[in-house]
Amino acid sequence: MSATVVMLSLVLLCAAALLLARRRWPDDDAPLVAEIDAVLPQTQCAQCGYPGCLPYARAIAEGAPLDLCPPGGTATHAKLVELLPDRAPGIAPQTPQPLIARIDEAHCIGCFLCVPACPVDAIIGAPKFMHTVLADACTGCALCLPPCPVDCISLRQPGSA
């Protein structure tokens, strides 16, 4: 009898301690967000409607759909579904061809509009000087295309002339 009482009180004590601890230090979603962010392709293209991969990761953690990442393609979508199995999977986007931006340097007027638009600082240049793309850093997000007033930026396959 006394054994039962002791065990029961221990259980209740532990439960109370856990409840208190949870109220005192609420668990945050940071590990989940980091895990989701690690799956995303980090192109920072904002095609999902969020201003970058980390914001989309935060949004997913709070319930955004899983099928909004076109550059990630089927692979990223599959990993997201694996990570969050109880969410509606949605429709996997098609995997696109990897592309990188290239500035036609003969037509660049050095307006500097594309440089701040690049989310990964892959365009180097200064006002009134020619700009160019760092091929290794470019993620092919296409965010530099709309600001260019002379349409001298195009997306090409990596390695093509």
Partner 1 sequence: MITRQPLPARLLHHRGVNSQWTIRTGDIVPAGAPIQRGERWQHAAATCVVAHCDADTARLDVIDDTPPGPEAPLDVNATSASDLLRRVHEAGIAGLGGGGYPTHLKLLTAARHGVHTLVINAMECEPGISCDAALSAEGGREIQQGINAVRRILAINTVTLAAASTMQVAMLDVDTRHIRENPSATDGAERYLLRDIFNVILTPGEYPVHHGFVVCNIGTLHAIGRAISGHVLTERVTTVFGDNRWLPIGLPLSELVRSDTARVGGRLSGHVVRVAGAMVDKTTNGIDTASTHMALPCIRCGRCDDACPEHLPVTGLLTFSAPPRVGTLERLGLANCVECGLCNPACPSDIDVLATLRDAKTTLIAERQRRSATALANTRATAHTHRLATQAEQREQRRRDRLARLRGATSD
Stretch that binds partner 1, among 21-29, 34-42, 59-67, 77-85 (CB under 8 A): 34-42
Q: Which residues lie below 8 Å from residue 76, measured CB to CB, with a gap of 6+? A: 39, 40, 41, 69
Residue 137 interacting with partner 1 (CB under 8 A): yes
Neighbours of 81 (CB within 10 A): 16
Closer to partner 1 by CB, 76 or 84: give it: 76
Residue 144 interacting with partner 1 (CB under 8 A): no
> Measured in Å, how far apart are the chain's first and last C-alpha atoms?
85
E strand residue ranges, 47-144: 100-103, 123-124, 132-133
- Count residues binding partner 1 (CB under 8 A): 23
**Which parts of this chain interact with partner 1 (CB under 8 A)?**
37-38, 40-44, 52-54, 116, 118-122, 136-137, 139, 157, 159-161
